[in-house]
Structure 1
C-alpha cells in the first residue's frame, strides 16, 4: 500500500466526522444513553465533547411534558411509568439518536428535539397520549382537569 493511500485511509474518518458536524452545527449524534428518568428526561454521552459537557448530560425533550414519576396522584404515577417505558424502549432500541435545535435549559439540561432513526420522540409520545404539548411555561395538572373529567385518558 502506498504512503498516500495509507494517509488517505487514516484521515478519512476525521474528514467524514468534520463534514457531518459542519453540515448541521445545531445537531449531534448521541454516543450512548446513560439512563432514562421519565418520559421526557434522560441522560446521554456525546462522543467528541469534553467530559464536563459531554458525559452523563441531562436532556429534556423539547415541546412536550410527560407525567411525573413522583406525581400527585396514582394515575399520574402509573402513566409516568408508561411514558418512561416507551422512552426507554425507543431510545435503547434506536440505531441512531440525534439531537436537533439544542439549547441550555434549567438545571444545566440540554433542551432538544430528539429523533431516533429519523422519528421524533415527542411525536411518538404525543401519538400514544403519553405526553402533552408544552411551551416551556405553565404545565397542566395531570391529576385534574377544569371540566371535572379525568385529566389522563384511559388506554
Structure 2
C-alpha cells in the first residue's frame, strides 16, 4: 500500500514537472505579432530599453525590450574603445526613441535574460534597428556568438 502510494506520488510529481517544462519551452516559441504601442521609460544600452507596453485599454506592463537584429557594444567591456562605442550607441538609441510613439512587434521571449525580443519602430523614424545599423553604431545579429567591436 505504501509502495503504491509512493509510486503514484512519484508519477504525479514527474507529470507536474514535465508539464511545467513543456509550458516553459512553449512560452519561448510563442510570439505576439503586435504591433503594441509602448512608452519608453529608460534606455539601458544600445540595443535594449525598458518600456511600458500598452497591451489593452487601461492595461500596461513594464518590460525590457531587446531590439531584434542588432547587437550593440557592451557598456561593461574591459576595452575602453568598446565602452566609448557603447555610450555612443546608447545615446543614439535614446535620440531615436525620444519624441514619438514607439511600436513593438513580433514580440517573443528566449535567451535574452528576462527581456523580450522585438522589432521596434518609431513614428516618424521607422525601423530602429535599420537606423542603428545604417549609422554603424551596432552590428547585425541573428543569434549565436557575438563579435568583438573594436578590441
TM-score by length of 2: 0.70
* SS of equivalent residue, structure 2 residue 35: strand
Whole-angstrom distance in 1 between the partners of 2:84 and 2:148? 15
Q: 2:91 maps to which residue?
A: 85
* 1:114 matches 2:120: yes
Higher relative contact order (CA 8 A, sep 6+): 2
1:26 to 10, 30, 33: 33
Question: Does residue 52 of structure 2 align to residue 56 of structure 1?
Answer: no
Note closer, same or farther for the CA distance 1:93–1:103 as it changes in structure 2 (3 Å cut).
same
1:99 maps onto 2:119 in alignment? no
- Output one character per residue of 1:82-108: Cα deviation in whole Å (capped at 9) or x when no partner: 1101111111122x2111211012222
Question: Are 1:143 and 2:136 matched, yes or no?
Answer: no
* Cα-to-partner distance string for 1:13-61 (whole Å, 9 max, x where unaligned): xxxxxxxxxxxx6113333211111010011111245xxx953310000
Structure 2 unaligned regions, length at least 5: 1-31
Contact 1:59 1:109 in 2 (8 A): yes
**How many Å apart are 1:72 and its aligned residue?**
2.6
Please say which structure displays the higher CA radius of gyration: 2
- Alignment of 1:38 with 2:45, yes or no, is yes
Question: What is the CA deviation profile of residues 114-152 of structure 1, one whole-angstrom value per residue up to 9, with x for unaligned ones?
Answer: 0011611110110111011111111001233xxxxxxxx
In structure 1, the partner of 2:137 is 130
What SS is found at the alignment partner of 2:50? strand
Q: Distance in 2 between matches of 1:62 and 1:48?
A: 20
State the Cα RMSD in Å: 2.2
TM-score of the aligned structures, taking structure 1 as reference length? 0.69
Aligned pair count reads 118
